[in-house]
Each structure stands twice: as C-alpha cells, then as structure tokens.
C-alpha cells in the first residue's frame, strides 16, 4: 500500500511509524487527532496485534477513540490514566522552537489537556508543516456558543494591539451549521498570516471571557518527527538539542491503511 502513496502521505506515514519507537510496553499513551495521528494509531494497533504490545491509549477526540478501539488498542479516560508517559500528535504548523499551531481538526482543547498531562509530547508532521514564523495557518480558538459574536468582536478588537499581520476572524462551519467540538463549543479561526509573539497572544486570548482555549502550543512539544516524501525521517529533540536523520524501511505491500479515511 505504501508504494502507492503520494509523497505527502508517505511523509506522514514514515513520521508516524518512526514515532512509535517512543512507545514501550506498559505505557499510557496520548493518541492525537488528525490524518497523521491516525496513521500512528494504526501503527500502534499493528504492534498490539502482532507484537503483543500492551498499552493504554487516551484519545484526544471521539473519532480517535473509535479508531483506536477498531485497531485493538485499549482505550481509557485521562481521569483513569491520571498521567501519561507520552503523547503523540500531529500539528498544523511548527517553528524552530517547536512551538505549534494545532486545532485544524477541531480537537485542540482535549489535545492540549492530554499533551500537558504527559511526560513527553512528540509531534509527527510532514516537512510542509515547518514554518519560520507561526501564523500562515489560521489559528483556532475554541469559544462557548453563548455570546460567541461578542467574543469574536472582543478578539478582533484585541488583535489591533497584537503583533500580527492579519486580523480577520471566521466562525468555523460544518456545512450550513457551526462546527461543534466534542465539548459542544464553536471554533473561531483567526487569519493572522504572521504571529510575532505567540506566547503573548496565547496568554491574552485565554484571559478573554468566552474563550475556552486557543490552538497555540507553547513550550509543550519535546520533539518533532519530520517525515519526507522520499521516506526520510528527521527527529529534532528540543531538550537534548539533537537532530537525527534516517531512512525508514517499510514493506511496499504494507496494507495498514487501505481503509483509512483522513
């Protein structure tokens, strides 16, 4: 199956596959949400079935929970797990300091809770997600439905004093209706183009009434596993200050993902 993948899908696959090296028998593992994270869940499921790997998975969304159960991973709640050994998740953008924008899939709140309750957070991404400065990808902000337009106006007013290039915001839709998160909230996407001070913006946004959480993940990620379309992987560890490169070998007939829908 991997021999038929596009270069970007192959990059996602090799990043996900390499990241499973962080998972050991008996661990409690945070399972991310999104297309790249779904490949990782499938890889872990294969390890459970074929290698006898024993882990407890804490999913960051209902769809990840369903996928994990489908591939044979034991799913538990974060309250039951209490603390996690590692969380592996994707990102919409990451910079040289391994700060992230997440929430393109709408699960940013659960993703941030799970990531911060882990000894390590490992991000898996194709090389196209790397940026010099965060902000090209719209920044998701989860808001409560009550008074969301007032919250939106407050955010737009506040952005005037922030170091950003764009200030437009849009309500995320699901067809004709507003998109709803697993917690029943809405998402405002902030089209900022460039974020000059991500740390400041994250703090300011979370002080606003009506804002539940924002998609800036600052000082949370410990390492990023970057996949390339030719099968190369690069592991950048922010704590150790190391960069490791390798070529990932995989079977051309691998059919892990024949029924995986992004």
Which residue in 50, 74, 111, 213 is the catalytic one?
A: 111
From 34, 41, 2, 48, select the one nearest 19 (Cα to Cα).
Answer: 41
Cα–Cα dist 22/230, whole Å: 22
Do the Cβ atoms of 190 and 215 come closer than 8 Å?
Answer: no
Cα–Cα dist 93/197, whole Å: 15
Do the Cβ atoms of 42 and 32 come closer than 8 Å?
Answer: no
Cα–Cα dist 75/78, whole Å: 10
Q: Is 74 a catalytic residue?
A: no
Cα–Cα dist 149/166, whole Å: 19
Helix, strand, or coil here: 232? Answer: strand
Residue 43 host element (H or E): helix 35-51
Query: Mind telling me the catalytic residues?
Result: 111
């Amino acid at each position: 199956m991997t021999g038929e993948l596009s270069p970007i899908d192959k990059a996602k696959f090799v990043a996900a596959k390499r990241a499973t090296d962080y998972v050991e028998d008996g661990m409690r593992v945070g399972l991310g949400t999104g297309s790249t994270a779904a490949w990782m869940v499938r890889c872990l499921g294969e390890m459970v079935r074929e290698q006898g790997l024993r882990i407890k998975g804490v999913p960051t969304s209902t769809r990840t929970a369903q996928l994990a159960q489908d591939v044979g991973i034991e799913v538990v709640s974060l309250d039951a797990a209490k603390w996690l050994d590692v969380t592996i998740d994707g990102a919409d953008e990451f910079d040289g300091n391994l700060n992230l924008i997440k929430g393109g899939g709408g699960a940013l709140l659960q993703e941030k809770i799970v990531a911060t309750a882990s000894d390590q957070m490992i991000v898996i991404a194709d090389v196209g997600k790397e940026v010099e400065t965060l902000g090209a990808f719209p920044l998701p902000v989860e808001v409560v439905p009550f008074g969301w337009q007032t919250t939106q106006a407050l955010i737009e007013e506040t952005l005037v004093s922030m170091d950003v290039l764009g200030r437009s915001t849009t309500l995320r839709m699901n067809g004709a209706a507003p998109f709803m998160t697993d917690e029943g909230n809405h998402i405002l996407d902030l089209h900022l183009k460039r974020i000059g001070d991500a740390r400041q913006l994250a703090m300011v946004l979370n002080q606003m009434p009506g804002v539940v959480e924002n998609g800036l993940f600052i000082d949370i990620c410990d390492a990023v596993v970057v996949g390339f379309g030719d099968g190369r992987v690069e592991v950048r560890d922010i704590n150790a200050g190391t960069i490791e490169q390798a070529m990932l070998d995989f079977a051309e007939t691998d059919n892990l993902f024949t029924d995986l829908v992004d």
